[in-house]
């Protein structure tokens, strides 16, 4: 994030800006979480120091424990990874969402913090009802509540929501030196993805190993390769990601590998992207990956035949 953005955050935290809602946006790998967390903590801390949360008060410690009653984080949920109306206003039922709606949360006085903070990650995943309901709240903000939104797809956020937020672009910092081939490929050199890879080393290293061994499986190895590729899911540790999100991550990495190792197979890169979109919908994992790997091995064969012809 540019230095002037850093100054803006300091002014927001110190109460020198009237903005009630901030929208951080950037491409995948941009440290959106880092900046959103800094602003949330700074807004909530009763005695911020030099434009940042003190890190020592009960409010800051509660944030460390993820137990603050004055902080409401909202992320997409369900098979379709959407933020639905239930998260914004009361009245609609959803068995997968049990947090209070934003409409109730922002009208209550803070328990300990200076203000209550609502954070909405992947704001582009709000469905139409949720987005329109949130828009009404942004038009009439509560004095003791602030909102933070993040997105990697700014075009997916209503223009009217954008116009009622202070929008700050978050840039991707330079890649650190000394990364191994796997980490450099899958992280694309971005801190956010580096952190993800460091948290799941077995998953990413096994995925990379399987991909590197694919060409050696021979012309009949498509289904075996697909099966090994799918099995990597079992190495993901923790329950913070759904199976569908893990599958999408595997396909993201496959797309990067294909682009680097098989630049001659441009149609295949597009096919990986199409399967990625289908998996984010509700498509079957095996039904999509088996044909994809058959196409992958056909591309291997085409390359080999071209080499022999030359």
Provide the pLDDT confidence category of residue 163 given band limits of 50, 70 and 90: very high
Phi, psi angles (nearest 5°) of residue 226: -65, -40
Name the one residue in this structure whose structure tokens are 């984010």.
Answer: 280
pLDDT single digits (tens) 248-298: 999 999 999 998 888 888 888 889 988 988 888 778 899 999 999 999 988
Q: Could you tell me the domains of the chain?
A: 3-169 (3.40.50.300), 181-309 (no CATH)
Say how far apart CA 310 and CA 305 lie, in whole Å. 9
Question: In Å, how far are 27, 159, 167, 228 from 155, measured between CA atoms?
Answer: 12, 8, 13, 36
Q: Which residue has the higher pLDDT, 148 or 51?
A: 148
pLDDT single digits (tens) 112-152: 999 999 999 999 999 999 999 999 999 998 889 999 999 99
For all residues of the chain together, what is the average pLDDT?
Answer: 87
- In DSSP notation, 174-197 reads PPPS---HHHHHHHTT-HHHHHHH
Q: Which residue has the higher pLDDT, 122 or 96?
A: 122
Whether residue 125 contacts residue 82, with contact meaning beta carbons closer than 8 Å, is answered with yes
């Amino acid at each position: 994030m540019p230095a002037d953005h850093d100054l803006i955050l300091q002014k927001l935290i110190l109460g020198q800006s009237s903005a009630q809602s901030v929208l951080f946006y950037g491409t995948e790998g941009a440290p959106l979480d880092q900046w959103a967390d800094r602003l949330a903590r700074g807004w909530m801390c009763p005695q911020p120091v030099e434009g940042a949360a003190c890190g020592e008060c009960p409010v800051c410690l509660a944030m460390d424990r993820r137990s603050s009653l004055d902080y409401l984080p909202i992320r997409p949920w369900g098979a379709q990874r959407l933020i639905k109306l239930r998260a914004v206003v009361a009245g609609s039922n959803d068995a997968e969402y049990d947090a209070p709606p934003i409409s109730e949360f922002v009208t209550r006085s803070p328990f300990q913090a200076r203000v209550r903070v609502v954070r909405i990650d992947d704001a582009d995943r709000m469905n139409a009802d949720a987005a329109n309901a949130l828009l009404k709240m942004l038009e009439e903000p509560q004095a003791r509540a602030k909102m933070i939104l993040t997105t990697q797809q700014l075009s997916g956020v209503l223009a009217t929501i954008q116009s009622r937020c202070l929008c700050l672009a978050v840039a991707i910092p330079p890649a650190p030196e000394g990364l191994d081939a796997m980490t450099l490929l899958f992280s694309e050199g971005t801190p956010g993805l580096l952190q993800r890879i460091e948290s799941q080393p077995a998953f990413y290293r096994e995925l990379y190993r399987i991909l590197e061994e694919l060409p050696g499986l021979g012309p009949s190895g498509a289904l075996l390769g697909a099966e090994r590729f799918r099995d990597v899911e079992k190495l993901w540790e923790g329950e913070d990601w759904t199976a569908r999100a893990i599958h999408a991550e595997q396909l993201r990495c496959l797309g990067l590998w294909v682009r680097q190792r098989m630049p001659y197979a441009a149609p295949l890169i597009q096919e990986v992207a199409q399967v990625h979109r289908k998996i984010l919908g509700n498509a079957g994992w095996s039904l999509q990956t088996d044909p994809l790997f058959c196409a992958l091995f056909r591309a291997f064969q085409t390359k080999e035949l071209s080499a022999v012809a030359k």
